[in-house]
Amino acid sequence: MKRAVITTLLIFFFAVALVAQDTTRVGKVVEVKEGPGRTEVGLFRDRIYIDDNDDNDTTHIRFGKRNIEIIEREGQTNINMHRDRFWEDDDKDKDNWKHNNFDGHWAGFELGVNGFYGANYLGVDEFMELNQPKSIEVNINFLEYNIALKENRIGLVTGMGWSMNNYRFDNPLTIEKVNGMIEPKPIDPDGFDKSKLTVSYLTIPLLLEFQVPVNRRSNYLFVQGGVIGGLNIGSHTKYKTDHTKSKDRGSFNINPFKYSLAGRIGLKDISLFATYSLSTFFKENKGPELFPFSIGIGLVNF
């Protein structure tokens, strides 16, 4: 993709964010719609939608040649993936092309777990304590641009992505803004099922990648590190008991921007990643001083 296109997208990202009541748009590239039972994200011509109902939370993703479905039901998370056979020949051509040009690793699908590093707040020890295995992060990195520093070996990787961070609370609590401050809101523990905070970001990385040939140069082991910036495009809380179900949208004093250290290591379409935010999750003096982190696996590469 030409550099002018990337420059235009970056300008859209930082300067043309338009927010409506339940819809967020970034130029003509991304549109986020939130409804009573569905959150839908449009990325160019592809759609990502998240269904919320009484029984499960389901994320359906159709992007490029990949079809992905993440189903959370009765305390279990299942992932179903398949691909269109139409693209298999294109993948072979792409693999041959990689041997002659630097091709970084950003565009793709990633799945991980979220966490917070920080101190307690307001004297409530369990406030913001998470159920770690169920605090899921989903990343769809849909745009990639590579700058070769040394052919087939070293390069810079940038682009754009969408990240959905689910923070599942471990206790019968949710959060609310009271007099400009974030405070815990107790939930009736009788029949308590779940409570979570979901935050979505548009992301832009700047990563330095090293590639090492393996298997007689038929594959490449890659290692990369750098920073990822994010723009908050929406957040909501949701909790469910045997008797009630509630979903509340708002900013919750969450920082509109974040920047994180990031690292990846992988081979072909499989990789491991980790991020640690250098910016606080909430605005300064408006909530707990927490620094988000995530660890996960990249399952596919577009």
Q: Which residue has the higher pLDDT, 15 or 246?
A: 246
Q: What burial letters (b/e) apply to 224-253, b meaning 16+ CB within 10 Å?
A: bebebbbbbbbbbbbbbbeeeeeebeeebb
| Reported confidence tier of residue 148, pLDDT bands at 50, 70, 90 | very high
Per-residue pLDDT tens digits for 219-236:
889 999 999 999 999 999
Per-residue pLDDT tens digits for 84-110:
544 444 444 444 444 447 889 999 999
Which distant-in-sequence residues (6+ apart) come within 8 Å of 231 by Cβ? 13, 14, 17, 26, 201, 202, 203, 256, 257
In order of 18, 101, 208, 215, the CA distances from 227 in angstroms are 25, 24, 9, 30
Length of the chain: 302
| 4 has pLDDT over 60 | no
Percent of the chain with pLDDT over 70: 65
Q: What are phi and psi of 283, to 5 degrees?
A: -60, 150
CA distance 233 to 289: 21
pLDDT at 10: 44
pLDDT at 88: 46
> Average of pLDDT values for 150-170?
91
Instruction: Give Rg (Cα) of the chain.
Output: 20
DSSP bridge partners of 116: 292
Per-residue pLDDT tens digits for 41-56:
666 556 666 655 555 6
CA distance 14 to 8: 10
Domain ranges of the chain: 3-301
Are 30 and 42 in contact by the 8 Å Cβ rule? The answer is yes
| 297 has pLDDT over 90 | yes
Q: What burial letters (b/e) apply to 255-277, b meaning 16+ CB within 10 Å?
A: beebebebebebeeeebebbbeb
Q: What is the mean pLDDT of the chain?
A: 78
Q: Which residue has the higher pLDDT, 65 or 133?
A: 133
Checking phi first, is residue 73 left (phi over 0); if not, alpha (psi -120 to 50) or beta? beta
Per-residue pLDDT tens digits for 188-209:
888 899 999 999 999 999 999 9
Q: What are phi and psi of 95, to 5 degrees?
A: -60, -40
Token duo for residue 260: 């994180």
